[in-house]
Structure 1
Amino acid sequence: MCFSAEASFTASALLIPSGGVSLYLAAKTDRRYVPLCALPVLFGLQQFFEGMVWVSGAGANYEAMRHYSITYMFFVWLAWPVWIPFATYFVEPCRWRPLYLLGSIIGGMLGATLYFPYFANEGWLTVSFLPKAVVYSGKQTFDFIWPRDVTYAIYLASIVLPPILSTRPEVRVFGLLVFLAFGVTYLFFRFAYISVFCFLGGLVSIYLVLMMARLAREKARADPDCC
């Protein structure tokens, strides 16, 4: 597996149209899935910005690289822990929805405390390049309170638990795939865990296209006149 500007731009070019297909299918089949099916588009945008991190870094345009990397980290710290529980909220029974809404709020609070300090502390986000990966590192807010592994455990739980605990089996599969992406990252790519986890998470989100295609077929079989 090779990670580069080309890999990021290729992933973006694959994910954004795939997200368009999943959104179209969700809108036709079951609109409760629309927020969840927006994930490939969001991942595609994130991969585009990582491609720009590669390009600006290669051109020694460090000011642009900082802007692109901060935009990239917006998806890491704010979009995913907020959007994933928020998107799962819509497919759940009403009695469980407050828990998913609470998860989205907690994820947003965690993400905000990790993301917004980048604007006040320029040295808190550092970007370095390995031959096959981008390494995002630096200081984090909770480093002054507890070990960083605790922060990552809370962050991972905010992303993975909402879909894994879903009452919808197809959404649980997506959650398990995201957890598998984390496991692969942890075992083989810890040197660039943020970049690799998001890259693999983006690829995993293509499952949502297949999920919606299957749900559309099931709906068509159950109600041949619906289309």
Structure 2
Amino acid sequence: MCFSATVSYSAAAVLVPTGLYAVQQARRSLTPYWTWGLIPVFFGLQQAFEGRVWQELDAGNVQAAVPFALGFHFFSHFLWLWWLGLSSYVVEPGNIRRLVIGGCTVFGAFAGTLVFSVMLSHPEWMNIAIREHSIVYKFSVPYRDSIHLPITPAALYALTTLVPLLLSSHRLINIFGLLVALSSVLASTIYGYAYVSVWCFFAALISLYLVYMVRSLVAKSKPVTV
């Protein structure tokens, strides 16, 4: 599979208008599902940032690519950590599930703010390179070896983002969570060297499913007229 600026921009061109259509459908029905419609829009913007990263790297301007790489990481290391949880929370009817999902959302917002603020404060720690038609992002924190966690950062990220999706009482949201989980496994198995970039691309394509999901949930929320 080959990735490039063209692929990223093409994905953005499809995702943004498709997501806006889903948002429009949800807002017209006065339902809270518009937060789900924004997910393809956000993924489209993320892919547009990576398109610029590709362009700068292809031109040999590695340092010029850093601001756009930070734009890409705004979504991957900040927004996705809490937006998926928030979207699940606002449509969840069960009190216990809402409590757990809300906890994941708050934790994700805190963790994302902490991680991304460090990235913004130290852009010089960002290393970007092209390897086998994929972009490899590495953020080299000098004191990282002194930090010991009982769980790997990748596993903690997966739990924070996937638990709200898999715990939801809405079957269609569960399906989305399973698709995202499968794409994570595929990306880590085949493209482990460029996991962040590839998983976000796969998740971006999967987010098109949300247009169908929003339309289905909106239809179910409408009162039935006899």
Which residue in 1 is equivalent to 2:179? Answer: 177
1:15 and 2:15 correspond: yes
Which residue in 1 is equivalent to 2:156? Answer: 154
Q: Given residue 8 of structure 1, which amino acid in structure 2 is its aligned partner?
A: S
1:192 and 2:194 correspond: yes
Once residues 25 and 54 of structure 2 are traced to their aligned partners in structure 1, the CA distance between those partners, rounded to angstroms, is: 33
Listed as ranges, the matches of 1:50-69 within 5 Å are: 50-69=50-69
Summarize the Cα distance change of 1:135–1:149 in structure 2 as closer, same or farther, 3 Å threshold.
Answer: farther
Summarize the Cα distance change of 1:75–1:18 in structure 2 as closer, same or farther, 3 Å threshold.
Answer: same
Listed as ranges, the matches of 1:53-132 within 5 Å are: 53-93=53-93, 95=95, 96-132=97-133
Q: Given residue 117 of structure 1, which amino acid in structure 2 is its aligned partner?
A: V
TM-score normalized by the length of structure 2: 0.90
Q: Given residue 71 of structure 2, which amino acid in structure 1 is its aligned partner?
A: T
Once residues 203 and 165 of structure 1 are traced to their aligned partners in structure 2, the CA distance between those partners, rounded to angstroms, is: 22
Extract unaligned runs of 5+ from structure 2.
none
Secondary structure of 1:134's aligned partner = strand
Deviation at 1:214?
Answer: 3.0
Summarize the Cα distance change of 1:216–1:82 in structure 2 as closer, same or farther, 3 Å threshold.
Answer: closer
Deviation at 1:172?
Answer: 0.7
Extract unaligned runs of 5+ from structure 1.
none
* Number of aligned residue pairs: 224
Deviates more, 1:208-217 or 1:51-60: 208-217
Deviates more, 1:134-143 or 1:36-45: 134-143
Summarize the Cα distance change of 1:143–1:10 in structure 2 as closer, same or farther, 3 Å threshold.
Answer: farther
Query: After superposition, what is the alpha-carbon deviation per residue over 1:189-216, rounded to whole angstroms, capped at 9, x for unaligned?
Result: 1010000000001111100111123345
User: Contact (CA 8 Å) 1:129, 1:135: kept in 2 or not?
Assistant: yes
TM-score normalized by the length of structure 1: 0.90
Identity %: 30
User: Contact (CA 8 Å) 2:62, 2:128: kept in 1 or not?
Assistant: no
Deviation at 1:218?
Answer: 4.9
1:210 and 2:212 correspond: yes
Once residues 128 and 149 of structure 1 are traced to their aligned partners in structure 2, the CA distance between those partners, rounded to angstroms, is: 27
Summarize the Cα distance change of 1:216–1:111 in structure 2 as closer, same or farther, 3 Å threshold.
Answer: closer
Secondary structure of 2:33's aligned partner = helix
User: Contact (CA 8 Å) 2:101, 2:163: kept in 1 or not?
Assistant: no
Q: Given residue 157 of structure 2, which amino acid in structure 1 is its aligned partner?
A: Y
Once residues 117 and 216 of structure 1 are traced to their aligned partners in structure 2, the CA distance between those partners, rounded to angstroms, is: 39
Query: After superposition, what is the alpha-carbon deviation per residue over 1:58-92, rounded to whole angstroms, capped at 9, x for unaligned?
Result: 22333431110011111111000111101111110
